Amino acid sequence: MEKLIITAAICGAEVTKEHNPNVPYTVREIGIEAEKAFLAGASIIHLHVREDDGTPTQDLKRFQICVDEIKGRCPDVIILPSTGGAIGMSTEERLQPIFMKPQPEMATLDMGTMNYGGDEIFVNTENTIINFAKEMNSRGIKPELECFDKGMIDMALKLHKKGIIKEPMHFNFMMGVNGGIVATPRDLVYLVNSIPKGSTFTVGAIGRHEFPMVSMSIVLGGHARVGFEDNIYLSKGILADSNSELVEKAVRISKELGRDIASPYDAREILRLK
């Protein structure tokens, strides 16, 4: 079985220091957390950025200085910026990170609209998805196809048939998110069996579901996403001191299950980024 790619989602747009005081906001904090996650075994940093007070932003300049900070600490790591941003942002705001210099190797591409709860709706129309995909294609940026439910896989496959989403496809299954697919073994197997041969996939899950779903992904030949964006606890009731602790736990599980950990070089080979 190929080596395990670990993605560290180090801060997200919603989790705050009130949830866990170790969530990074500042440029320096983000750089430190990215470096610690990389040294622990992560080959990809999934990046949202914040203002110093924790406000989520998609500002191009803020992304640029955060990426420069990370690359100054760990130049080999793959940085995967979010084009999801936060609820209420315009599509123009959300797309800004793909215009960084140098341009990112990958970026997220959300494959559908989500009802997050109450009146919070994360809107991704078909035209939005197509526009984002075309912008990424024109720059040679590989999209990570963010799927929160089975229908989002179907949208990816539909756009693939139209030539808008290119092979080989890389999916990220996010499970246990309100409004999306639940985090159960049955449902993960269903998602995995729904993607084409030759595709790769990563699995992330919210809160207590993170490590059970990551463990299943490791067994099924997929890859792992962990980090404060999805889960702030190392174990029940114990807050993680750093994203690196969550990465280290994924490394331990993977090694117990007989899979070695991918370096950034390995990850680029597996995802065909070269």
**Mean pLDDT computed over every residue of the chain:** 97
The predicted-structure confidence for 253-263, as pLDDT tens digits, reads as follows 999 999 999 99
pLDDT at 66 > cutoff 90: yes
pLDDT confidence of residue 117:
84
CA–CA dist 63, 99 (Å, integer): 10
The predicted-structure confidence for 29-45, as pLDDT tens digits, reads as follows 999 999 999 999 999 99
CATH number attached to the domain at 6-271: 3.20.20.70
The predicted-structure confidence for 199-216, as pLDDT tens digits, reads as follows 999 999 999 999 999 999
190: three-class secondary structure by DSSP: helix
> Mean per-residue pLDDT for 76-91?
96
CA–CA dist 76, 116 (Å, integer): 35
Predicted TM-score (pTM) of this structure: 0.97
pLDDT confidence of residue 153:
98
> Mean per-residue pLDDT for 160-172?
97
Tell me which H or E stretch contains 267: helix 264-271
DSSP assignment of 9-28, as one string? E-S-SS--TTT-TT---SHH
pLDDT confidence of residue 274:
72
The predicted-structure confidence for 106-131, as pLDDT tens digits, reads as follows 999 999 999 988 899 999 999 999 99
pLDDT confidence of residue 1:
85
CA–CA dist 252, 1 (Å, integer): 17
Q: Is the peptide bond before 75 cis (omega within 30 degrees of 0)?
A: no
